[in-house]
Amino acid sequence: MTMTPKPAILIVDDSPETAAMLKDAVSFHGFAAEAAHSGLEALKAIGRALPDMVLMDARMPGINGFETTEMVRADPRLQHVPVMIMTGANESEHVVHAFASGAVDFIAKPINLDELFARMNVHLGQFHRQRSAQKALDATGRHILSVSPHGAIHWTTRQAAELLERAGLPNGENQRLPVAVVEWLAEENDKPLSLKQSGIALEMRVVEAGSDQFLIRLLDRSRGTDEERLGQTFDLTVREAQVLLWIAHGKSNKEIGDILEMSHRTVNKHLEQIFAKLGVENRTAAATTAVRVLWADEAY
């Protein structure tokens, strides 16, 4: 049986007594804990092994907790690692500084351990779900990024970051995309946005829209449209390529007929030709074959 690794928690506090107490409590709760006693030590510890979460003291000599958190957030590897600021109960101004520095939460000292573990479990759960989703997208070779309604990048897959960089566009966390993207998100994001950047014909499509983020798929149109790639790969006519593309998007024959303004019988005739050219027997196999070509074409 494969053992699930314990979440790794980095505790950063300049008080050896406080750090030791928290390390013991966190370890007893079932986490793998490591302690650092300064911002510099914390950064060195992170360089040795990436934590799943950081508990950061606000007041420390030298590099304080807020400055250390900002440095952690500047590391692309740590985009989604939750940092919780530990601050004195009467230091309310630290709450503003905590969130401004990139922390996901704060907790007042003296620390109530039940409250601490409850908050940790929430943020660790969100972190692991987000990281798992991003790893899955990375593995498929998709060009996907998440942005705020104001165009600030939350995260990108590796492939999307590389394509944005080649197009001369911002590609890191918290960097802002051009005004044209922000205007598109605010108005007609149901239609693709085309941008010509550094010789690359870039297209953006909204995959999912939420109140605080948009999930966007990038396409390099310099390499041709989806229909053109399918047509070239399988020697399809324009209409056959269009039908195959909509099959890959999960549309029924009736929906395809409505979209392409053709009769149900005509769609069926195109399907017969598509199945023969792809060497498959049904629409599921045709859709799978098409998706593999389109995804592989993105994973360069």
* Domain ranges (residues) in the chain: 8-136, 141-223, 226-298
Query: 226-298: what CATH class?
Result: mainly alpha
pLDDT in tens, 184-217: 998 867 788 888 877 788 888 887 787 778 888 8
Same fold, 141-223 and 226-298: no
Can you give the pTM of this predicted structure?
A: 0.49
147 strand-pairing partners: 153, 214
* DSSP code per residue over 152-194: BEEEE-HHHHHHHHHTT---STT-B--HHHHHHHHS-TTS-EE
- Name all contacts of 17-26 with Cβ < 8 Å and 24+ positions apart: 18/57, 22/55, 22/111, 25/113, 26/55
CATH of domain 8-136: 3.40.50.2300
- Cα Rg for the chain, rounded, in angstroms? 25
Residue 275 is encoded by which pair of tokens? Answer: 């199945």
CATH of domain 141-223: 3.30.450.20
pLDDT in tens, 109-161: 888 888 999 989 888 877 766 665 555 444 444 688 888 888 988 888 878 88
The pLDDT profile of the chain, 300 residues, written as one tens digit per residue, is 334 578 899 999 999 999 999 999 999 988 999 999 999 999 999 988 889 999 999 989 989 999 999 998 887 677 678 899 998 756 667 778 888 888 888 898 888 888 999 989 888 877 766 665 555 444 444 688 888 888 988 888 878 888 898 888 988 877 899 999 999 998 867 788 888 877 788 888 887 787 778 888 888 877 667 788 888 899 999 899 989 988 887 888 888 888 888 898 999 999 999 999 999 999 889 988 888 887 664 444
Q: Are strands 53-57 and 83-88 parallel, antiparallel or unpaired?
A: parallel
* pLDDT given for residue 132 in this prediction: 53
* pLDDT given for residue 177 in this prediction: 92
* pLDDT given for residue 32 in this prediction: 92
* pLDDT given for residue 90 in this prediction: 60
Closest CA to 78 of 127, 6, 139: 127
